[in-house]
Amino acid sequence: MMSRARWALVGAASLFAGLQASAHELKSALTEILFNPRSGHVEIAHRFIIHDAEHASGADRGEAVDLAGDPVARRRFARRVASQFAIADASGTPYDLMLVGSEIENGYLWVYQEIDIDTVSTDTILIRQDALRAHWPDQVNRVNVRRASQVRSLRFTGADGFKPAHLRAD
């Protein structure tokens, strides 16, 4: 007969295993936007779980995709992310963001964009982050905007369009 301590341990292990198994079920991505006066750019870094990126890329192409081993497929995915992300001025005019590149690091695919910091002179910007949302209705895209000591966080789900981020220039 199992002791209560063992039952508790088995229960905790089962709970942990269940959480671990469902942890990846949440489809999410993170975008960091940094106003960097040292570089003179607004730097944008999108982070995706590599498995999610490969799954979405494979579904589009109808075949398995290895983003870590196929730089052409990785560039294609980066271009797709760039087309599904936008920053606009307060009137809704999008800025022309430059795609810098991408890399694989510790199970994540990073996609980088930037724009000259002087181009984005308004205190309010509009942001849209649609990446992977067409594939998974429950996809959650979090965007953090950092300007000097200010941080604004936005969450994109479902059919969300542009959302405002209010940032005053310090």
CA–CA separation, 169 vs 89, rounded Å?
A: 14
Write down the pLDDT at residue 7. 45
Task: Look at residue 121 in the predicted model and tell me its pLDDT.
Answer: 76
Contact 129, 31 (CB under 8 A): yes
Full-model pTM? 0.82
For residues 63 and 111, give the distance between their C-alpha atoms in angstroms, rounded to a whole number.
Answer: 22
Residue 115 tokens, joined: 């724009």
At 63, give phi and psi (nearest 5°): -155, 160
Which residues in the chain show pLDDT less than 70? 1-25, 59-62, 169-170
The DSSP H or E segment spanning 38 is: none
Residues sharing a CB contact under 8 Å with residue 165, sequence separation 6 or more, in sequence order: 124, 125, 126, 127, 143, 145, 152, 154
pLDDT at 22: 44
Per-residue pLDDT at 16: 45
Query: In angstroms, rounded to a whole number, what is the distance separating the alpha carbons of residues 2 and 93?
Result: 66
